[in-house]
Amino acid sequence: MKRILTIQDISCFGKCSLTVALPLLSAMGIETAILPTAVLSTHTLFKGYTCKDLSDQLTPIADHWKREGITFDAIYTGYLGTEEEIDTVIGIINTFRNDHTLVFIDPAMGDNGKLYPAFNEHYAKKNADLCAVADIADPNITEAAFLTGLPYRETYEEEYVRELLLALADLGTKTPILTGVSLSEGKTGAMGYDSAKKEFFHYQNDRIPAAYHGTGDIFSSVLAGAFVLGIERTGALKTAADYTALTIAKTLENPENPWYGVDFEATIPDLVKALNP
Ligand code: PXL
């Protein structure tokens, strides 16, 4: 069985970060170790959330694992908290990585042209250091714009997406993948760039006219899992994009749906089936 380490916060309520990554990766048949960077009462889009930073625990925990001889096939980072924490996480990646380790970075820090409430532009730029050590990084367009300094656009041509991908590759990411990319009317999905082969690739499915918080974390978790399982790049994009779209569609069926997230629990059996046709 493959083993992944995921490093992100625990938002105790609100369906994002670890409470999404852990169940999804487990459902995909991947042993999942967690390194929680902070414990929050909810994610930061709720008002009045509490936050206990756990940065000082990361290195002692990783050191213990090292002494135990624990290894990982992949390391997947999500929402982090501070610039110092990014340096700590880069150190942990360098400690555990070998020639076969997949390093997957989701530089989770914003959406719709804006950073999340806890972050500023300096923190956003610092994420470029993390992307520099990534085999795969999957920012959305907002995050890519903050990382590269290129302008954020809501409407764009494919050329803009390629420009962002090339700029992300310049940061050092081997295979940047831009999420939430629409390449034609009514479609959405992702586009990537393999910098070693100098090849672009993409996957698009039908856009479902609804936006829910946490779908980025769902997409990233399933995409990271698909790569860990050895699914080839376009198949990995399809697995993540189709599962995310199905989950949004399922959530829309429920008029009482929670505004803070999607009903991904209901579609886990479909994810398992998609992986074992
Ligand atoms: O979904 C990304 C995310 C993860 N963790 C925390 C967040 C957010 C987005 O707002 O606030 C704490």
Per-residue pLDDT tens over the stretch 78-131: 999 999 999 999 999 999 999 999 999 999 999 999 999 999 999 999 999 999
Beta-ladder partners of 8: 36
Mutation choice for ligand 1 from 6, 10, 13, 17, CB with most ligand atoms inside 8 A? 17
pLDDT tens, 196-225?
999 999 999 999 988 889 999 999 999 999
> Looking at the predicted structure, is the pLDDT value of residue 258 above 80?
no
Ligand 1, atom 6, lies closest to the CA of 43
Question: pLDDT: is 260 or 128 the higher one?
Answer: 128
- CA of 34 from ligand 1 middle (Å) equals 16
Q: State residue 218 phi and psi, 5-degree precision.
A: -65, -50
Which residue puts its alpha carbon closest to atom 8 of ligand 1?
Answer: 43
Cα–Cα distance for residue pair 52/118, rounded to 1 Å: 13
- For ligand 1, what atom is nearest to the CA of residue 11? 12
Residue 169 has pLDDT above 80, yes or no: yes
**146, 83, 172, 239: CA torsion to nearest 10:** -70
45 Cα nearest atom in ligand 1? 10
Closest atom, ligand 1, to C-alpha of 213? 1
Q: Is the pLDDT of residue 9 over 80?
A: yes
Q: How far is the CA of 17 from the centre of ligand 1 (A)?
A: 6
Is 60 a residue whose pLDDT tops 90? Answer: yes
Instruction: Report residue 260's pLDDT band, with 50, 70 and 90 as the boundaries.
Output: confident
- Spell out the domain ranges in the chain: 3-269
Angle at 105 between CA 100 and CA 111, to 5 degrees: 160
Q: Locate 25 and state its tokens.
A: 């990766």
Using a pLDDT cut of 70, give the percent of the chain over it: 100
Angle separating helix axes 18-27 and 215-228, nearest 10 degrees = 40
Instruction: Tell me the average pLDDT across 141-149.
Output: 98
Q: Which residue carries 């070693």 as its tokens?
A: 196
- Across the range 30-43, mean pLDDT stands at 98
Of 168-172, 183-187, 205-209, 255-259, the one with minimum mean pLDDT is 255-259
* Beta-carbon contacts of residue 130 (< 8 Å; ≥ 6 apart): 77, 80, 86, 89, 90, 105, 107, 137
Amino acid code (one letter) for 10: I
Q: Give the atom of ligand 1 at the shortest distance from the alpha carbon of 20.
A: 1
| Mean per-residue pLDDT, 164-191 | 98
Ligand 1 pocket, mutate which of 9, 24, 53, 105 (most atoms under 8 A from CB): 9
pLDDT of residue 81: 93
Q: What is the pLDDT of residue 210?
A: 86
Q: Is the overall model pTM greater than 0.85, yes or no? A: yes
Contact 69, 59 (CB under 8 A): no
pLDDT 10s digits, 224-252: 999 999 999 999 999 999 999 999 999 99
Q: Which atom of ligand 1 is nearest to the CA of 16?
A: 1
Is the distance from CB of 174 to CB of 134 less than 8 angstroms?
yes
At 220, is the secondary structure helix, strand, or coil?
Answer: helix
Token couple for 199: 């090849």
pLDDT of residue 259 exceeding 80, the answer is no
Beta strands in the chain (DSSP E): 3-13, 31-42, 51-53, 74-77, 102-105, 110-111, 114-115, 136-137, 175-181, 187-194, 199-206
Evaluate whether the domain defined by 3-269 bears CATH number 3.40.1190.20: yes
Residue 256 has pLDDT above 90, yes or no: no
What's the mean pLDDT when you consider all of the chain? 97
State if residue 231 touches ligand 1 by the CB under 6 angstroms criterion: no
| pLDDT over 90 at 255, yes or no | no
Pick from 94, 93, 125: which is nearest to 109 by CA? 125
Q: Identify which of 10, 15, 16, 39 to mutate to test ligand 1's pocket (most ligand atoms within 8 A of the CB).
A: 16
User: Binning pLDDT at 50, 70 and 90, where does residue 174 land?
Assistant: very high
Alpha carbon distance 173, 183 (integer Å):
22
Atom of ligand 1 nearest to the CA of 216: 1
Helices 264-275 and 18-27 pack at an angle, to 10 degrees, of 30
**Average pLDDT, stretch 169-186?**
97
